[in-house]
Amino acid sequence: MRRALASAMLLAASAMGVSAQHFYSPDLAIGVRAGATMSNMAWQPSVRQSMTPGCMAGLTIRYTEEKYFGLVADLVLTQRGWAEKFEDNPEFSYRRQFTYVQLPVMTHIYFGSQKFRGFVNLGPSVGFMIDDRITSNFNYRNTAEVANFPSGRRTAQLDMAVYRKVDYGITAGAGVEFRARRKHSFMVEARFYYGIGNVFSSKRGDTFGASRTMSLEASAAYLFRVK
The dihedral through the CA atoms of 192, 195, 200, 206 has a sign that is positive
Residue 202 lies in a domain: yes
| Number of structural domains found in the chain | 1
The dihedral through the CA atoms of 150, 156, 161, 164 has a sign that is negative
Which amino acid is it at 85?
K
Do the beta carbons of residue 174 and residue 124 sit within 8 Å? no
Per-residue confidence (pLDDT) for residue 68, from 0 to 100: 86
Per-residue confidence (pLDDT) for residue 23, from 0 to 100: 52
Q: What are phi and psi of 150, to 5 degrees?
A: -60, 130
> ∠ at Cα 216 (42, 164), nearest 5°?
45
Q: What are phi and psi of 156, to 5 degrees?
A: -60, -35
Per-residue confidence (pLDDT) for residue 3, from 0 to 100: 59
Closest by Cα among 206, 222, 113 to 161: 206
Residue 136 lies in a domain: yes
Per-residue confidence (pLDDT) for residue 2, from 0 to 100: 55
Residue 79 lies in a domain: yes
Q: What is the CA radius of gyration of the chain?
A: 20
Do the beta carbons of residue 54 and residue 36 sit within 8 Å? yes
Q: Which residues contact residue 20 at a Cβ distance below 8 angstroms, ignoring those fewer than 6 apart? A: 65
pLDDT per residue of the chain (227 residues) written in tens, 0 to 9: 555 555 555 555 554 444 444 455 688 999 999 999 999 999 999 999 999 999 999 999 999 987 889 999 999 999 999 999 998 889 999 999 999 999 999 999 999 988 899 999 999 999 999 999 999 999 999 999 999 999 889 999 999 999 999 999 999 999 999 998 778 999 999 999 999 999 999 999 899 999 999 999 999 999 999 97
Per-residue confidence (pLDDT) for residue 54, from 0 to 100: 97
Do the beta carbons of residue 72 and residue 121 sit within 8 Å? yes
Per-residue confidence (pLDDT) for residue 1, from 0 to 100: 57
Question: Domain residues for 14?
Answer: 2-21+44-225
Residue 200 lies in a domain: yes
Strands 27-44, 69-84: pairing kind: unpaired
Residue 9 lies in a domain: yes
Residue 35 lies in a domain: no
Residue 26 lies in a domain: no
Closest by Cα among 96, 121, 127, 118 to 108: 121
Residue 36 lies in a domain: no
Per-residue confidence (pLDDT) for residue 29, from 0 to 100: 95
Do the beta carbons of residue 5 and residue 170 sit within 8 Å? yes
d(CA 157, CA 143): 12
